[in-house]
Structure 1
Amino acid sequence: MTEDARFEDAREAPLNLGAFDEEDLGVLSALVQDAVLPVTEIRWQPAQRRLGLLVNRVRWEDVEAAVRRGRPVERVQSLLVVDTALRIASQGVDRSDKDLVLSILSVSFEPGEAPGGFVVLTLAGDGAIRAEVEALDVSLRDVTRPYLAPSGKLPDHGA
């Protein structure tokens, strides 16, 4: 008999997840919500058809346990990679401003001619990055150990 995994069964380990459909992408979107990155940590590799972002994300998968145990909130550096990318466009992102820090609100998929479409990263402040893709293929991989969030707090969106 098989049963679904439970949150309590999780172990402390770096995430390494892929999204190949909209449901999977919803999970990745939740994990990168409120991730921040300097504009200098965005790489477009047209020959490899890859868009990569090195983000500092809240460890949302650990927040409940941290709060329950009175531990500070943690962040971790992760690679968010969009593969099979054909073209990239952005709005409200000044790549010449090397001090610009972006904050990701969500990652979504806008279907086009199947199996392609657009992966859209919605950013705080009305910014967006849009990647036209041959097929939905997005990955999220933690690449550092968790560290204490500088503020020690969860992001506050106001109610």
Structure 2
Amino acid sequence: MAIQLKMMGAQKNTQDKALSQKQELVQARQLSATPYDPLKLKASDPVDIKIMSALVQDALIPASNFHYDITEKTFTILANRFCWEESPEILNHQKIYGRILCGLYFQNVEKVQQINFDRKKTDQDYNLLAIEADKEDEIQLVFSGSTRIKLKVSSLCCHLTDLEDMWYTTTKPDHESDEHERKSA
């Protein structure tokens, strides 16, 4: 029994040490980082949408953070986006990346169609892979797991606004595992 308790104590100390090192890395990144200028962008054509798509690739969005206002003809999303535009910092041989809370606001939305989207799963996060606008009157939000949201619009108009300060993580989105998942499906 005493040996088992010692082993459990050693495991807890190892976990606490790893957590402490991670917290130190994040704090060091916050202290050394140059100030981040929040993004505030508007997209009004397919080229603008492609640029915006690159900035929100791998945004994580809880199922409850999608809202369609039929009277205002707006579709809004509150997302936790990965900051691809920022270079990672290396501290103690680990890369530190940024994420930030942002809002996506689509105007002139006539209709919303959800494909493989289960709003009943309120605890599920959706991983936004791309925003596509190949037609002037349709925007597609492409998520991992074959989930899509199609927005029928009278004209393209989308806003991206960073809402808070960037926070830091040691985790970077992994597209190799996504590709392996798609091939094995």
State TM-score, norm by structure 1: 0.83
CA contact (8 A) 2:129 2:144 kept: yes
2:48, 2:166 → 1: CA distance? 23
Is the counterpart of residue 103 in structure 1 residue 123 in structure 2? Answer: no
The 3-state SS of whatever aligns with 2:52 is: helix
Shift in Å, 1:50:
0.4
Matching of residues 8-157 of structure 1 within 5 Å: 12-62=36-86, 64=87, 66-67=88-89, 72-111=96-135, 116-149=136-169, 152-157=170-175
Shift in Å, 1:68:
6.6
- Cα deviation per residue 1:12-65 (whole Å; 9 max; x = unaligned)? 211000101111111100000000010000011111100000000011111x2x
The 3-state SS of whatever aligns with 1:30 is: helix
Identity of aligned residues (%): 25
User: Highest Rg: 1 or 2?
Assistant: 2
Q: Which runs of 5+ in 2 are unaligned?
A: 1-34, 180-185
Which protein is richer in helix relative to its size?
2
1:125, 1:50 → 2: CA distance? 25
2:96, 2:55 → 1: CA distance? 18
**Greater mean alpha carbon deviation, residues 25-34 or residues 71-80:** 71-80
Shift in Å, 1:92:
1.1
State TM-score, norm by structure 2: 0.72
Partner amino acid, structure 1, of 2:173: P
* Larger RCO (CA within 8 A; separation ≥ 6): 1
Note the aligned Cα RMSD (angstroms).
Answer: 1.8
- Cα deviation per residue 1:72-113 (whole Å; 9 max; x = unaligned)? 1010000011110000011111011111110000001131xx
1:77, 1:36 → 2: CA distance? 10
The 3-state SS of whatever aligns with 2:77 is: strand
1:15, 1:72 → 2: CA distance? 20
